[in-house]
Amino acid sequence: MKIRIKSTRGQCVSTIDEAILSGLAGDGGLFVPDRFPNLTIKKFYEYGNLIDFSAHLLSPFFSDSKIDVNNAFFQKFLTFSFPLHHLFKKSYVLELFHGPTLSFKDLGTQFFIECLLHLIENKSAKVLVATSGDTGAAIAHALHGKRDLEGIILFPKDKLTFRQQSQITCWGENIRALAVNGSFDQCQQLVKLVFAKREHKGVLTTANSMNIARLLPQIIFYAFTSIQLALRHNHSVNFIVPGGNLGNVTACYWAKMLGFPIEQILIANNTNSALGEFLLTGAYQAKSVTKTLATAMDVGEPSNLERLFILFNNYPECRKQMNAESVSDEQIKQAILHCYNKYHYIICPHAATAYHRLSTINQDKSWVIVAPGHPAKFEEVLEPLLNKEIPVPEQLKVFLGRKQHYSIIEPNYHSLYHFLVE
């Protein structure tokens, strides 16, 4: 039985190809699988490399697609790994920042672009994305120089680090960077409004984790890591995942639902925690955003909460399955200092939220904290705190030496529409 793709709001059913091209469902919901494939998990213990593992994991979701998600497909872009750094006992850091733009977004965006190129078949398409930092850099890198594709990237003005903004705005050509006088949530609302109005012509899709092709490959992080550590320690694995827009959190839960050896999932938020309030009260309300040290998590209206709610069906089950806590800026600083002083290991502010949670729980189990971005992208926080210069990887140095190109717009549809029809 083939997997269909449905909207979280129940009105739309689609193929995976249609879902990738449309980005959002016509009823305003996010696309999710109507069921999870019945995988034989023991086979995944036998795959000797990441390419084989990834192809066998994701191909069932593409059984009715024009896209052949096989080894050759992944070999085009999956040239980096996500290694585990051992901290102590059975506790590890999952380093998701070894891709071309030094963030966990690289895998999802490269996968998405490869899917899109297969589907448009030499036609032109525009890709609209809102970013709090890392998504914009990853999609710009993946799109740049692609003849038939144009990227339009919205980022909140004066809310990113200099290095994050440099990675987004240094491209020109087929990449349009737009600094929005507002928050990340306003950028994301603009993207949703464009798809709700559907006044654009031609192919327009989104590369945010709202697009299911961005989210599915992130399952690989947790499936692959859980198998690695289950082989090493002979029992299930526990993850602590930084929150934000909750795409990575959703991918971790999907990996667990598929049957991979994952026991507990803890969510670490900064003080912008709409999820925490939802779990506490049962009422979801978008929050205004306060700027924190973990800037990529400064999200007051996390899109993927809708996917998590539909996954667990009701509020009591959400509260039973999800465990989220907020981490303050001071706790982030102390986590960074503690990790460096005790283990001589530097973590970014986002990984620090997960590290803080690790310090408060039973550490006899196998725990993995997720590090979504390279510390060198957050030197403005880390260098004064640690009194140490953070080495800059070569692939980041390339971006920093280029001139920035971007336009400033207001957070309204009219300001953005001009760039959609050019």
Return the axis-axis angle of helices 105-120 and 134-143, rounded to nearest 10°.
40
* pLDDT of 274 above 90: no
pLDDT confidence of 129, banded at 50, 70, 90? very high
pLDDT in tens, 24-51: 998 999 999 999 999 999 999 999 899 9
Specify the pLDDT at position 414.
92
Determine the angle formed by the axes of helices 219-233 and 50-58, rounding to 10 degrees: 120
Integer-rounded Cα Rg, in Å, for the chain is: 20
CA 296, distance to chain mean position in Å, is: 10
Q: Spell out where 225-317 has E strands.
A: 237-242, 262-269
Q: Are 16 and 26 in contact (CB under 8 A)?
A: no
Residue 12: the pLDDT is: 81
SS3 130: strand
> Hey, what domains does the chain have and what are their CATH numbers?
81-103+215-392 (3.40.50.1100)
Cα first-last separation, the chain: 43
Average pLDDT over residues 146-161: 92
User: Tens digits of per-residue pLDDT, 103-128?
Assistant: 999 999 999 999 999 999 878 999 99
Which residue reads 């400064």 in tokens?
Answer: 298
Alpha-carbon torsion, ordered 395, 400, 402, 403, to 10 deg: 150
- Decide if pLDDT at 1 tops 80: no
Nearest C-alpha neighbor of 233 from the set 365, 322, 356: 365
